[in-house]
Amino acid sequence: MGKNPLCMTQFYKILSACRTPGLKKDMWECFPPDEPNPPTHVTVIHNNTFFSLEAYGKNHKPLSVDQIYNQLQKVVEMSKNSSTPVGILTSENRNTWAKAYNHLVKDKTNQASIQNIKRSIFVLCLDEILPGDMSDERSVAAKMMLHGGGSQLNTGNRWFDKTIQFVVGRNGICGLSYEHTTAEGPPVVSLMDHVAEFCKTEHDEGLPAENVKPVEKLEFNLDNKSLEAIDQAKKDLDKQVKDLDLTVAKFTDYGKNFPKSVKLSPDSYIQTAFQLAFYRLYNEPCATYETASLRKYQHGRTDTIRSCSIESLAFCKGMCDTNVSQEQKRELLKKAVNSHKNYVNEAINGQGIDRHLLGLKLAAIKNGMNVPDLHMDQTYSTSCHFKLSTSQVPSKEEAVLVFGPVVPNGYGLCYNPQESQIIFGVSAFNCSPETESNKMANSVRQSLIDMKNLMAGSVQAKLLYNEPCATYETASLRKYQHGRTDTIRSCSIESLAFCKGMFDTNVSQEQKRELLKKAVNSHKNYVNEAINGQGIDRHLLGLKLAAIKNGMNGLIYIWTKPTVPVVILNYLPVRHLLGLKLAAIKNGMNVPDLHRDQTYSTSCHFKLSTSQVPSKEEAVLVFGPVVPNGYGLCYNPQESQIIFGVSAFNCSPETDSNKMANSVKQSLTDMKNLMAGSVQAKL
């Protein structure tokens, strides 16, 4: 963590580990590879049927991909019909499962099968059945990983006591489920990232393994008592599945990049957004748990970061108070974020309070003493009623961990903050009339947007070229018969004034807003003139040709030369000028002096050639640049997104399509932030 080494023991335990139910307490077992007779097989479950698949051949050589595939095909062939879902027992209340377990293992066949599962490296669940509604695939995938969907879907196709279960659905939905005893989320996600990265590349496996053992089906002898326990487990599980409300959301406006750009801790910033989201929904703060890793200590696990603080509450109140200025709100946000950051540093360095207090309580109980009065105080109980239970689990992949709330009227909130997006899962219980996962997810989104808008006043986008350029946009003349196009010159005196103002720290936010409005309205006026034949000449070309042909050379054009690097032609009929030039050439006349003027040539060197082509679909047209050092930019503006294609020539050292695309994104974001001052999120 930073420059500090971390304890890595959890990485050695997440494979070949399992939890066993007990009447008084559960037992945890691990069968590591550095001990005698380490496991060499994995458990595969398909259609609720369990198999043991040897992963190694002669001389401990791993099976090749093709060999594993062939073995899995045999698993599927041997389990075409669904079996009694023994695995659903592992979803039961631990005491209930312990009783069923003790009865099961009285049978030697059952005992051997369960021991085989416990000793396996991991479990692979091949899910056959899919939910009927797949409209929200991310959330459906999360539910399949968390609980399997219920007794009618895939919950019987699990063994929840195993630390690692990889899950693969028939439609390609995949992920893993993990049992928390062994490790926290980061080591498990590191394993997932490694698997995902490994699958992206080709590997020379050499010769296939020899002496591959056939797949072994694991048998269970189930008497009436066990069958009754399974039926009851189905009912209990289905109630829990029905009660869980789960939403996975992807916030794409920004990610860790923005908080870092304003010198704020990304995790503390996101946690403050959670506080604001909750406060807006319920008009009050709540006790909030965030996982603090203690892995800088040997065998360290976790402590609690209490994200709800005096500073976070002051910020939430300030954000919802119209009498508090933007500058004051910014300061309140910075204080809230920095307060959280300080708490994090204390917690990960062993200065948190919760594990110390828990130790006192457990020590008192173990020694037959009264629990300290502090633990019996109502205030302490309220402070431990974590309506927000949160955890940051970063991953390189587009993935997120999910878990249930820890109190009936609370939320579980896990998040993966990536560089330019944040993926988070929100859970709640349907039995609570107070909570709703989608409502909370939307409130988090709005809080993240509003916090960026608040902080954006101090953000300066990087100057790409520090100058304007002649810009072509297509104007349609289809309101005229056989009409085609003319040019909208998007670069104007007003647009240049806005661009300069955006990068001038002496220009106020209000002045910048006015400059933006003027630039937009100026462009709008130009568009209206262009599409109404006021700056266009293709349909008038014949008239111009006739005029020149008949010696009518007295046409006067107003030519403005503003003091900018690129001449901006306002109200200049572009197609008229083209007509003049073509007519002169056609009639053997000299091209008008205007066309030979360097200023005119510069004004027609369209470094930005653009076109708006709307579509109902997620599609966009693309075309190449019209000058060697320019860009082609076509865009499809939809109701809630803009899809655009940017082209450039690699031979030009000045241009880079990705750089331009990112600059467009940043400009759109900054312009929204600029105009957002009058926008108030609803409480």
Q: Taking 70 as the threshold, does the pLDDT of residue 494 lie above it?
A: yes
pLDDT tens track for 546-558: 445 656 543 333 3
CB 474 within 8 A of CB 485: yes
pLDDT tens track for 368-416: 999 999 999 999 999 999 999 999 999 999 888 999 999 999 999 999 9
pLDDT tens track for 278-304: 999 999 999 999 999 999 999 999 999
CB 422 within 8 A of CB 416: yes
Look at the block and give the residue holding tokens 């970061």.
Answer: 305
Report the helix count and the strand count for the chain, using DSSP H and E: 22, 19
248-284 burial code (b ≥16 CB/10 A, e <16):
bbebeebbbebbebbebbbbbbbbbbbbbbbbbbeee
| Nearest residue to 162 via CA among 20, 320, 341, 59 | 20
Q: Cα–Cα distance between 489 and 478 in angstroms, integer?
A: 19
Ramachandran sector of residue 533 (left: φ over 0; alpha: ψ -120 to 50; beta: rest): left
CB 158 within 8 A of CB 45: yes
Q: Taking 90 as the threshold, does the pLDDT of residue 544 lie above it?
A: no
CB 94 within 8 A of CB 19: no
pLDDT tens track for 201-223: 887 777 888 999 999 999 999 99
- Catalytic site residue from 41, 46, 103, 180: 180
- For domain 1-243, the CATH superfamily is Choline/Carnitine o-acyltransferase, domain 2 (3.30.559.70)
Sorted by sequence, the CB contacts under 8 Å of residue 220 that are 6+ apart come out as: 50, 84, 86, 104, 109, 110, 113
pLDDT tens track for 627-652: 999 999 999 999 999 999 999 999 99
Q: Give the mean pLDDT of the chain.
A: 87
Q: SS3 for 222? A: coil
Domain 252-466 in the same topology as domain 1-243:
yes
Confidence band, pLDDT 50/70/90 cuts, at residue 138: confident
Q: Using alpha carbons only, give the angle 428, 429, 435 rounded to the nearest 5 degrees.
A: 60
Sorted by sequence, the CB contacts under 8 Å of residue 476 that are 6+ apart come out as: 483, 485, 531
| Nearest residue to 90 via CA among 22, 21, 29 | 21
Percent of the chain with pLDDT over 90: 64
- Does the domain at residues 252-466 carry the CATH identifier 3.30.559.10? yes
- Strand 411-417 relative to strand 216-218: parallel, antiparallel, unpaired? unpaired
- Residue 592 is predicted with a pLDDT of 64
- Strand 302-306 relative to strand 174-178: parallel, antiparallel, unpaired? unpaired
The domain segmentation of the chain, as residue ranges, is 1-243, 252-466, 607-682
Sorted by sequence, the CB contacts under 8 Å of residue 542 that are 6+ apart come out as: none
- Is there a catalytic annotation at residue 180? yes
